[in-house]
A and B are shown apart, each in its own frame.
Chain A
Amino acid sequence: GNSVTQMEGPVTLSEEAFLTINCTYTATGYPSLFWYVQYPGEGLQLLLKATKADDKGSNKGFEATYRKETTSFHLEKGSVQVSDSAVYFCALPHRGGAQKLVFGQGTRLTINP
């Protein structure tokens, strides 16, 4: 089945810093790719997604580009805020036509004022 490898954390940055969280995948074909975010004490929620190669997903100032050449889907934000402190998960379908997702191990991000 498909798999995903995510940058290990934790990551600590100062407010307004540039953020990159790396995610690489192994997959058959070109499945949809996802970033989910988990704020403290909450369940996961979709942050952004890309459904085909070269697509860029974006939301709340975050962006990620589906790069098939490097099998990557890195999450970026130009200027982080304290409110971005959370755990971020990269994910993709288990395999083509799959009924379930495969999640990365998560990256804990802390933003200091």
Chain B
Amino acid sequence: NAGVTQTPKFRILKIGQSMTLQCTQDMNHNYMYWYRQDPGMGLKLIYYSVGAGITDKGEVPNGYNVSRSTTEDFPLRLELAAPSQTSVYFCASSWGGGADTQYFGPGTRLTVL
């Protein structure tokens, strides 16, 4: 099993550009999550999903959108990138909810200039 994979690993965007961060898991997990980690800081939850077709906002959803059309994929869309979105983005998945182990991808390092 590959676990949780994320693409790209690195990306530089100009202000106002848009992009999609890809996340795929091959563990048949129901739950998927997007976090951002700013330098020297902890994790902040952006969006999460409890199954295909169901998504919900986390702590910091503004400026982002998600969709979950399949169990495996949970892309994160950035519209109109801003410097405040410079961060490392992690996707994670788990079988159950909060009491279950979350498995994290390797992260995408995004810089907005």
Contact = CB atoms under 8 A, between A and B. Distances in A.
B43 interface: yes
A42 B98 CA distance: 22
Contact of A46 (B41, B90, B102): B102
Contact of B101 (A49, A97, A100, A105): A49
B21 interface: no
Given A89-B42, A99-B31, A99-B48, A42 B106 contact: yes
B42 A103 contact: yes
A101 B102 contact: yes
A103 B48 CA distance: 15
Interface residues of A, number: 25
Given A42-B107, A43-B107, A44-B90, A99 B101 contact: no
B90 A43 contact: yes
A6 to B, nearest CB: 9
B29 to A, nearest CB: 13
Interface of A: 31-32, 34, 36, 42-46, 49, 51, 89, 92-95, 97-101, 103-106
Interface of B: 4, 31, 33, 41-43, 45, 48, 50, 56, 58, 90, 92, 97-99, 101-107
